[in-house]
Amino acid sequence: MKHIIILLLTLLSFARQETSRTIIALIDTTYRSETCYNSFIKLNEAAGITIRFLHPSTKTSQDLCGCNGVFVALDPHFLTNLESEYAQLTIKPLQQFFKKTDNFFGILFPSLINKNFQILTKFLKIFNIDKSITSDIQQFINYQNQFKPLYTTQYYTKTDKTLPPLQFTHAQRLPFKKLPSYLSNNFPIALMIKNDQWNLFISTLSNMTFADLEEDNKRNPIEPYKRKELLNATLSSLKTVFKEINKNNKNEKTIFKKNVLNKLVNKKTKTLNYQTYKKQSGLFKWVSNGISCGWLSIDYDPKMIEKNLNYIAQTKFDMLWLELPLKLYKKSEEFNKKINFFTKKLEEAYQNKNQLLPKIFIDFDFGATLHWCHQSTHPIDIYGNEYKKVPAPLEYKEFWRPCILKVLKNVCNKWKNEIGNGIPIDGIIFNFYFWNSKEMPFYTNLIDFSDSAWNAYQKYHPAINISSTERINYILKNNKLTEYLFILEKEASELAKLITDDIHQILPCAMIGAYTQTPLDTWFYRAIMQNLGSKQNPLLWFTNNLNYYGHRNWIDSHHIHALHLTNIYLDHFNNRQDIHLINKLAQSHDGLWYSRASRIGEKYQQNKWWSPEATTCNPKKLINLINKQAQKK
């Protein structure tokens, strides 16, 4: 009997702990996975907060039951389509939830929203947020967008001195304690606004998730210590959130977890993927100790090409990424002339230095192809918007085959017979950046409802033949969005297999690379990256991420086999501290890619769009530094 009573008391104790937990929902309107919020969720847990991760659905109101508050992660597409059915799946449950008093409301705005602050104001109005509070929020957002990265690893924030000092009427800066020394002491990462109705928390996605999978590479410092300081500032802010929610709750104990920062920031990454390939006998047998890659532009000042290629021939680059002038592809004579001149000078430069050519990869820049490749099918997002500057992702017949694969075949034939000057092509790099489209530079997770995507869905549901507007309503009302995106991802996998087969028919032994700004957690890129590479022949994945292997669980769960190269701008060589940190990066990645190596001999100029791609460092000294990093020991 005594044992039973002890057991019951123990269960009651656990039940009391469960009911007294501080639970905050995190509604992700971008429909990405929890991985994109990994550090944010763990910092919340360390601050005593349990995150309930949600996507918008018809069940959102039920999912919010028992929560002490809500974080909502917004993006510009959501804010400009507040009346849409998809947006209302979040807005209506929140309106219902906040009829209660003293609830916590955390709003994570997208960056650079001050360019159209009216859309933000419209969102705040929905929840009857007072105009005087709105002025504090606008001032905060304005300052956030003056957070000017210097494209250097030494210091990462610089507010505009011409702006007036921050003076909030209703808001408190977070964190309360002094910010890291290399940030402005007047620079908050969040605001807390308290009134009778709620505790309002205002920040940006960049501030809260800068070190997660889809890193903000302009805000995430290379140096682990500084990254740790920024994460600590976030943790301090979340501790304040916990205390405010529980200030009247005597049962809730303030127990903060320790060592979370050490777990999130790995100072030493010993288990590196490239070590697996040290004894590789297949395509990557040339990779002995990591990859050093120079990114070169072919469409360049002819007077500078010869000079700069002589410098390139003195480096120990394992591979050269050659950016073809694809914008000129339809101007055949000019296109051929530029490539022929470049390859001739490249061959001569290496011969003059008695050096063997590194592996040569040619670049297929998707943004450039869209100057002459026009499609009738474009992606349609969940809000019904059509993006006419980019192709529908699953459009094989209209985009992939005529604009990429046929062009690749033609270029490879010309290269071999006319313009390559005997230089072999060892691999292809797909540059997935649609730089011609500000609205959609990369595919989001909330596309596509175009005909090509719906045709893929109809393979599994053949009876449903409806218009694009009706498609969206059907999917949302029937809670089929997760299933729909799963089917599109499956179809993208088949597309990637077709592309890979076509490439190997053109170049049987070609290695395949891809560039995305970060490892993007969307159905299209997950499927593509999974199938462009294999365990035997891994993909070369070029991104700006500093902590790729910190997201190992995401990589493995999606069966992505890739060697990862992180980006080094040449202006990183402008100071000693950066050079030391680049050496560390060389040891914790599969390789480094230098942008742009074709500017090695160019005079550095400040405040140019290309300034990050040049350096004040003397070319001979720069070559020695690159060669030391290429040794990676």
CA angle 32, 38, 42 (to 5 degrees): 145
DSSP conformational letter for 165: P
Within a 10 A sphere around the Cβ of 15, how many other Cβ atoms? 10
Contacts of 424-427 spanning 24+ positions with Cβ under 8 A: 424/360, 425/360, 425/361, 425/362, 425/507, 425/510, 426/319, 426/359, 426/360, 426/361, 426/509, 426/510, 426/511, 427/319, 427/359, 427/360, 427/361, 427/362, 427/507, 427/510, 427/511, 427/512, 427/513, 427/540
Tokens of 256: 């903060």
Q: Cβ(56)–Cβ(85) under 8 Å?
A: no
Got the DSSP string for 207-269?
Answer: HHHTTSSS--TTTS-SSHHHHHHHHHHHHHHHHHHHHHHTTT-TT------SSHHHHHS-S--
pLDDT at 454 over 80: yes
pLDDT at 103: 82
In 3-state terms the chain splits into helix, strand, coil percentages (rounded to 5) of 45, 15, 40
CA-CA distance, 596 to 572, in Å (whole number)? Answer: 12
22-28 and 69-73 strand pairing: parallel
Find out whether 320 and 359 touch, Cβ atoms under 8 Å: yes
Spatial distance between the Cα atoms of 311 and 600, rounded to a whole number of angstroms: 7
Tokens of 548: 């790729």
In the prediction, which pLDDT does 118 show?
79
CA distance 439 to 240: 36
- Find all residues with CB under 8 Å of 39, minimum gap 6, and list them: 209, 211, 212, 231, 264
Distance CA 569, CA 520 (A): 21
Mean pLDDT in residue range 202-228: 83
CA torsion 105-108-112-117 (nearest 10°) is -20
Q: Which two tokens stand for residue 157?
A: 């924030």
CA separation, residue 488 to residues 276, 392, 503 (Å): 32, 12, 22
Could you tell me which residues are beta bridge partners of residue 540? 513, 563
Residues 497-555 have pLDDT tens digits of 999 999 999 999 999 999 999 999 999 999 999 999 998 889 999 999 888 888 888 99
pTM for this prediction:
0.90
Amino acid present at 454: W
pLDDT tens digit sequence for 119-149: 888 898 898 887 778 888 888 887 776 655 4
* pLDDT at 4 > cutoff 90: no
Helix (H) or strand (E) holding 297: strand 291-297
d(CA 617, CA 623): 10
- Is residue 122 within 8 Å of residue 82, measured between CB atoms? yes
Task: Give the pLDDT confidence of 273-296 residue by residue, as tens digits.
Answer: 444 444 343 445 445 567 899 999
If you count them, how many residues does the chain have? Answer: 633
The pLDDT tens digits for 10-63 are: 444 434 344 458 999 999 999 999 999 999 999 999 999 999 999 999 999 999
**How far apart, in whole angstroms, are the C-alpha atoms of residue 211 and residue 357?**
37
pLDDT of 158 higher than 60: no
Residue 327 token pair = 């914008």
Per-residue pLDDT, 277: 42
pLDDT at residue 586 in the model: 76
pLDDT on residue 623:
92
**What value does the mean pLDDT of the chain take?**
84
Greater model confidence, 344 or 145: 344
Phi, psi of 563 (to 5 degrees): -95, 130
Q: What is the pLDDT of residue 224?
A: 77
- Cα–Cα distance measured from residue 311 to residue 302, given in angstroms and rounded to the nearest whole number: 15
Average pLDDT for 386-414: 94
Q: How far is CA 354 from CA 15, 310, 344, 347, 577, in A?
A: 75, 11, 15, 11, 34
Q: What 3-state DSSP class applies to 429?
A: strand
Q: Is the pLDDT at 114 greater than 60, yes or no?
A: no
> Cis omega before residue 32 (within 30°)?
no
Give the pLDDT of residue 491: 96
The distance of Cα 296 from the centroid of its chain, to the nearest Å, equals 23
pLDDT-wise least confident of 72-81, 184-193, 469-478: 184-193
- Model pLDDT for residues 165-181, shown as the tens digit of each residue: 678 888 888 887 766 65
Joined tokens for residue 524: 């299209």
DSSP of 480-511, one letter per residue?
-HHHHHHHHHHHHHHHHHHHHHHHHHHSTT-E
